Amino acid sequence: MNIGWKHAIASVVAVPIVGLFVGWTGLIGIGASGGHWAVTDWFLHWVMRNSVETAALSMEAPPLDDPALLPLAAGHYETACAVCHGSPAQPRSDAVLAMLPPPPDLQAVVPSWTDEQLFQIVQHGVRYTGMPAWPTQVRPDEAWAMAAFLRKLPDMDAAKYYDVSGLHQPPMEGEVSPMPITCESCHGERKLNSGSLIPSLAGQSEAYLLESLRAYAGGRRASGVMGVAVGTLPQEALPDLARYYAGQSRPERPVQSIDAALIERGRELAERGRPQDKIPACLSCHEKPGANPVYPKLSGQAQPYLERQLTLFKDGVRGGTRYHHLMTEAAKYLEEDDIAAASAYFATKAK
């Protein structure tokens, strides 16, 4: 029997009308208590995995074996992720397990994803699951750090997790919950070394620290990690934090071996700049007598941290304080080897 064109048109018109009618009646249940049909659950996960795998095809993960990546992500994981996904320090609650779909135990599922696929999920989130995108889309370096942390998570015991996340273990026998993540969990001097991607705050000016905290809190300086951390604090606490760290002294710590020629090139940039390439001398603003207190002190910071910040300035990503535009303009003409040299010089320069 041939189906006429009139019947075909009628079917095309009728199907959405019937669908809208069924939706209007409320007969389709949306309660999470009953769960999905098995075929629905399979289909949704199949679509999600195919989507992530396709999106990751055009990516190539940077090296993720640097131990400095772990502390950068671990504290954020405990603060923002562990409540749903669990961690070696805290199990998931019954309320979380009742979500539809329930957030997966990442220690179990991470091995089934590649580094690129983990980045895709962390950076962009997953629709209809409650999995949010990374808080800022202009800091893929942070999402890659989280991918590096997740790659190590399946093999972490509680002791290792406490160490990299900065949590304090329960102080008394019988305690269940550890002490929470604090500023010192990441920025405490005992946690930092010459390879850190996290800055030392001790001894920076109160004005610089306060402007930076307010820039993170107001979303003017992009960082998923710091935006979440500072966003949980009351505004009136920020001056106290700035005052506390400004009053701390930074201990001398061993500096990793760095090529002397690289340090010398960095010294020339710091002291004289390169006027023909529109690169000013770093020390014409930073660390000179009577310098603007909103300009940070660079000497003694870890080389990897300085390299990352200069790269963010060059890319036009880092900012938020009143004078960030000056540094964005200064960094615009830096080459990759200039960034390495300047960072090497200030990392080895006495405070």
pLDDT higher than 80, residue 68? yes
Q: Tell whether the model's pLDDT for residue 76 goes beyond 90.
A: yes
Closest by CA to 294, choosing from 190, 226, 187, 213, is 213
- Among 154-158, 177-181, 205-209, 343-347, the minimum mean pLDDT is found in 177-181
User: What pLDDT score does 351 carry?
Assistant: 73
C-beta separation of 183 from 213 below 8 A: no
- Mean pLDDT across 268-288: 96
Q: Is the model's pLDDT at 2 over the cut of 60?
A: no
Q: Does residue 103 register a pLDDT over 80? A: yes
Q: What is the pLDDT of residue 174?
A: 52
Mean pLDDT of 236-247: 96
Please state which of the ranges 146-155, 253-262, 326-335 shows the lowest mean pLDDT: 253-262
Residue 291 CA to residue 299 CA, distance in Å, equals: 14
Band (46; pLDDT cuts 50, 70, 90): very high
10 Å Cβ neighbour count for 119? 27
Pull the structure tokens for residue 140.
């893929």
Judged against a pLDDT cut of 90, whether residue 167 lies above it is answered with: no
Work out the number of other CB atoms within 10 angstroms of the CB of residue 148.
Answer: 25
Backbone phi, then psi, for 279, in 5-degree steps?
A: -105, 110
Residue with tokens 């397990």: 97
Task: Indicate the CATH number for domain 258-351.
Answer: 1.10.760.10
**What are 112-131's pLDDT values in tens digits?**
999 999 999 999 999 999 99
**Which of 87-91, 174-178, 222-226 reaches the highest mean pLDDT?**
222-226
Q: Where in the chain is the domain with CATH 1.10.760.10?
A: 50-55+64-165, 201-249, 258-351
**297 pLDDT tier (thresholds 50, 70, 90):** very high
According to the model, what pLDDT value does residue 3 have? 61
C-beta neighbour count of 257 within 10 angstroms: 8
Q: 């015991």: which residue's tokens? A: 157
Does domain 50-55+64-165 match CATH 1.10.3720.10? no
13 close to 77: Cβ distance less than 8 angstroms: no
Q: To the nearest 5 percent, what fractions of the chain are helix, strand and coil? A: 55, 0, 40
Rounded Cα distance, 210 and 287, in Å: 18
What is the structure's pLDDT at 179?
61
C-beta separation of 169 from 78 below 8 A:
no
Chain mean pLDDT for the chain: 92
Given the structure tokens 């390439």, which residue do they identify? Answer: 277
Which whole number is the average pLDDT over 262-291? 95
Q: Is 70 exceeded by the pLDDT of residue 177?
A: no
49 — pLDDT class (breaks 50, 70, 90): very high
**pTM (predicted TM-score):** 0.92
Name which of 4-18, 137-151, 184-198 the model is least confident about: 4-18
The band of 257, judged by pLDDT with boundaries at 50, 70 and 90, is: confident
Band of the pLDDT at 252, cuts 50, 70, 90?
Answer: confident
Average pLDDT over residues 155-177: 77
CATH T-level assignment (fold) for domain 201-249: Cytochrome Bc1 Complex; Chain D, domain 2 (1.10.760)
Average pLDDT over residues 45-53: 96
CA angle 262, 265, 268 (to 5 degrees): 155
So what's the pLDDT on residue 63? 96
Q: Which amino acid is at 98?
A: A
pLDDT score recorded for residue 50? 97
